[in-house]
Amino acid sequence: MATTQAPVVPPKRRRIGVLTSGGDAPGMNGAVRAVVRMAIHSDCEAYAVFEGYEGLVNGGDMIRQLHWEDVRGWLSRGGTLIGSARCMSFRERAGRLKAAKNMVLRGIDALVVCGGDGSLTGADVFRSEWAGLLEELVTKGELTQDQIDPYKVLNIVGLVGSIDNDMSGTDATIGCYSSLTRICDAVDAVFDTAFSHQRGFVIEVMGRHCGWLALMAAISTGADWLFIPEMPPKDGWEDKMCEIITKNRNDRGKRRTIVILAEGAQDRHLNKITSNTIKDLLTNRLGLDTRATVLGHTQRGGAACAYDRWLSTLQGVEAVRAVLDMKPDTLSPVISIRENKIMRTPLIEAVQETQKVAKLIENREFDTAMDHRDSEFKEYYLAYRNTATPEHPKMILPKEKRMRIAIIHVGAPAGGMNQATRAAVSYCLTRGHTPLAIHNGFPGLCRHHNDKPLSSVREVEWVEQDAWVNEGGSDIGTNRNLPADDFETTAKCFEKYKFDGLFVVGGFEAYTAVSQLRQAREKFPVFKIPMVVLPATISNNVPGTEYSLGSDTCLNTLIEFCDAIRQSASSTRRRVFVIETQGGKSGYIATTAGLSVGAVAVYIPEEGIDIKMLARDIDFLRDNFSRDKGANRAGKIILRNECASNTYTTQVVADMIKEEAKGRFESRAAVPGHFQQGGKPSPMDRIRALRMAIRCVEHLERFKGMSADEIAADEQSASVIGIKGSQVLFSSMGGPDGLEATETDWARRRPKDEFWLELQDTVNILSGRSSWGGGRRMWGQHDS
């Protein structure tokens, strides 16, 4: 048989293929874009395999080289633009033999596969058979020994694209948060109808073997009852569900009823539970006007949310790095995320653990199945169960261990504040504590402390907090003022209301407030109570954490704004928009949004702006537009943090670009302003608010029974809960190793070391700006 000569590829210029397989998930396009551009940046060539493994088997035009401009605008597109198909022929050795031949003929020796566990299993099998496949191709005369010699090793890297979030070893899969957003939007939309008519709604979401979507949707929408495959309800669940729903409606005044179930819902005997079964049960037994809704494939569609955009981008970049790092004996990795850290996990281990859960469910070993889910999943499940049914008898503490816990919001409003308060109140009521809401921050506490009718401190009842489940902003009010403005009155209020613990939700002002109270303990002993800060600020600038409530909501509203602006810029073909972002003296929001929308450049306070930087960026834009000639929808976006420079304002930068363009292209300024604070909080902010608020109350509980001096002596008595790398932990504020002394840049109101700064390099790499000398390494760090 005649053979086709394989191209000769220089050793340093590797060819990396990328394919999407199985289903589709929002964010897959972002992963492909990142792989393509990172490969080109790394002096490699990028090839897309169209229609998944089908394209790999058929070859020809289904394997095509992609260039830099080919993936422009892909971040905001839904589905997968290179196609996805379930390929039966690849499951057979004969199909894999054809695939191996096509890869050798194309000179491709590495493959990045984005798909579910089945697709990744197939990829790992392909790699394990690679040497044998090549030998067989030579034996059959389809390839020569010279052709296969450069390709003795196949490197495989996996990216998990799945809306179900069913892969073990990772907190999130590409697409899961976008799908969760669709679900929450749908449930939020029926809230008003359900409330107006006192109706019940049964919502069925996707998830045959994994209940992640259903669980997170139940948390995000305050569902009355939940069905997931990992933990079926116990026998007699019909009575228990009706009892809870009746209590919620009659005793707690709840006018709407929401039940959420995964499509794989079943009882403990593996009998399927359907949405219609639940609807009929509520209608016939409770006389409830009930509707059933199956959301179906609407959950898969649409543009990716902010989280999936930056997750897919960072994982795509890491996949290329992993390819270049791999050696012949390196196990195929899958790129995962734990809390806030991108990691590499052995692919086969993750797949085996994932498949083990499904088998445990089939064998009705439900408790073991839950144990084999990530610890975060089980924690969320327990948190939902303990707050959805406040009268859980095993949770109530004896009277001597109950506390009066004050809840206060400090700083600017942020998405998730209400949800954190709701979670804290629910958990307090579950435990028997008394939750006390302080209205309008520290000024509200002090203003009416002698005027009981106008008192801003009051107990919160269950029915009130339920309304906060999807509300943005701060229902109890927030204020930037600090306790140091009036320590005397603040101390009198603490004494008057007999606070046993203080739960503070807010940004850098909240952090500062607890710092002031801690330092004032010697003069005002009443402050010797445990205090904890739950960071909530769109700026994400609180020391002790890499994630603050509200930052994800802000990112989603900002990319929605940027997508609309880019559409305008692209329609006119030759326009640059300079968009001003909030964030104070922290560039986190600008940088992460830049990663999520594919910005040309991002200007942040940590780097500042100078004339040389602007000149280089204008040259970069000139070159882009001259080569593009308007043919590829060449709208551009530049993001500028509000505090990046006092001189080079957003309008000034836009005017300079317009002036220097000399008519070749246009420039406009746009300021979304407080639109960035968001409306309804994103699902991520809602669920993390629940998880972290409960942990905060649990943290306060451990100080009950300690004397005031013992509390003050414990450095953890004034702390911040946060995500650091792959962990959720409490960081003490005081002491020689505390946050105040080691991690806080008080002048700039941000942490001394900002974990996300390295993302600036990624923004510059993927925009092509780094090749023009832009970016942190060239300009260094300074404030303007």
Residue 175 annotated as part of some ligand binding site: no
Contact 476, 421 (CB under 8 A): yes
d(CA 487, CA 481): 12
Nearest CA-CA partner of 689 in 444, 410, 295, 423:
423
Q: Which residues make Cβ contacts (< 8 Å) with residue 137, sequence separation at least 6?
A: 97, 100, 101, 104, 143, 148
Q: How many residues does the chain have?
A: 784
Residue 228: the pLDDT is 96
d(CA 694, CA 721): 11
Q: Which fold has domain 561-676+760-779?
A: Rossmann fold (3.40.50)
SS3 387: helix
Single out the catalytic residue among 164, 224, 500, 617. Answer: 164
Q: Which residues of 621-649 are buried (b: 16+ CB within 10 A; e: fewer)?
A: bbebbeebeeeeebbbbbbbbbbbbeebb
d(CA 773, CA 699): 48
Angle (CA) 459 683 638, round 5° = 120
Contact 533, 720 (CB under 8 A): yes
The mean predicted confidence, pLDDT, of the chain is: 91
Q: Where in the chain is the domain with CATH 3.40.50.460?
A: 176-299, 561-676+760-779
d(CA 263, CA 296): 9
Q: What is the DSSP string of 388-423?
A: HSTT-TTTPPPGGG--EEEEEEESS--TTHHHHHHH
Residue 115 annotated as part of some ligand binding site: no
Region 266-278: mean pLDDT is: 95
d(CA 559, CA 405): 37
Q: Which residues make Cβ contacts (< 8 Å) with residue 112, sequence separation at least 6?
A: 16, 17, 18, 19, 31, 35, 157, 158, 159, 316, 319, 320, 323
Residue 501 annotated as part of some ligand binding site: no
SS3 742: helix
pLDDT tens digit sequence for 355-394: 999 999 999 999 999 988 887 899 999 999 888 776 677 8
Residue 431 annotated as part of some ligand binding site: no
Region 132-140: mean pLDDT is: 95
**Residue 306: how many other CB atoms lie within 10 Å:** 27
SS3 548: coil
d(CA 776, CA 587): 13
HEC sequence for 636-689:
EEEEEECCCCCCCCHHHHHHHHHHHHCCCCEEEEECCHHHHHCCCCCHHHHHHH
Angle (CA) 757 763 766, round 5° = 150
Contact 411, 509 (CB under 8 A): yes
User: Sign of torsion, CA 375 725 171 54?
Assistant: negative
d(CA 715, CA 724): 19
- Per the structure block, which two tokens stand in for 761? 């390099």
Residue 66: the pLDDT is 96
Per-residue pLDDT band at 707 (split at 50, 70, 90): very high
Residue 443: the pLDDT is 93
Q: How far is CA 92 from the centre of its chain?
A: 37
d(CA 316, CA 37): 9
SS3 content of the chain, % helix, strand, coil (to 5): 50, 15, 35
CATH code of the domain occupying 402-549+681-746: 3.40.50.450
Region 588-604: mean pLDDT is: 96
SS3 185: helix
Region 237-254: mean pLDDT is: 88
Residue 255 annotated as part of some ligand binding site: no
Amino acid at 345: T
Percent of the chain topping pLDDT 70: 94
Q: Which residues pair with 579 in a beta bridge?
A: 639, 670
Please indicate whether residue 164 is annotated as part of the active site.
yes
Residue 145 annotated as part of some ligand binding site: no
d(CA 525, CA 528): 5
Nearest CA-CA partner of 706 in 493, 381, 401:
401
Residue 391: the pLDDT is 65
Per-residue pLDDT band at 7 (split at 50, 70, 90): very low
Residue 262: the pLDDT is 96
In this structure, what is the dihedral angle of CA atoms 82, 83, 89, 91, given to the nearest 10 degrees?
90
Residue 163 annotated as part of some ligand binding site: yes
Contact 476, 455 (CB under 8 A): no
Per-residue pLDDT band at 448 (split at 50, 70, 90): low
CATH of the domain spanning 176-299, picked from 3.40.50.620, 3.40.50.460, 2.30.110.10, 3.30.360.10: 3.40.50.460
DSSP label at residue 604: -
**Residue 80: how many other CB atoms lie within 10 Å:** 26
Residue 694 annotated as part of some ligand binding site: no
d(CA 682, CA 684): 5
SS3 157: strand
Contact 59, 95 (CB under 8 A): no
**Among all chains, which residue has been given the structure tokens 């281990």?**
349
Amino acid at 49: V
Q: Does the pLDDT value for residue 670 go beyond 90? A: yes
In terms of C-beta density within 10 A (0-12 exposed, 13-18 middle, 19 or more buried), how is residue 729 classed?
middle
Q: Does the pLDDT value for residue 12 go beyond 90? A: no
Residue 299 annotated as part of some ligand binding site: yes
Residue 106 annotated as part of some ligand binding site: no
Region 408-415: mean pLDDT is: 96
Residue 633 annotated as part of some ligand binding site: no
Q: Which residues pair with 232 in a beta bridge?
A: none
Radius of gyration (Cα) for the chain, nearest Å? 28
Q: What is the DSSP string of 629-645?
A: TTTT---EEEEEETTS-
Q: Where in the chain is the domain with CATH 3.40.50.450?
A: 15-173+304-357, 402-549+681-746
Angle between helices 117-139 and 347-362 (to 10 degrees): 120
Query: pTM for this one?
Result: 0.93
d(CA 535, CA 538): 10
Contact 320, 189 (CB under 8 A): no
**Residue 471: how many other CB atoms lie within 10 Å:** 16
Residue 10: the pLDDT is 42
Q: Which residues pair with 16 in a beta bridge?
A: 46, 110
pLDDT tens digit sequence for 33-82: 999 999 999 999 999 999 999 999 999 999 999 999 999 989 999 889 99
pLDDT tens digit sequence for 564-594: 988 877 776 688 999 999 999 999 999 999 9
SS3 674: helix
Q: Which fold has domain 15-173+304-357?
A: Rossmann fold (3.40.50)
Residue 256 annotated as part of some ligand binding site: no
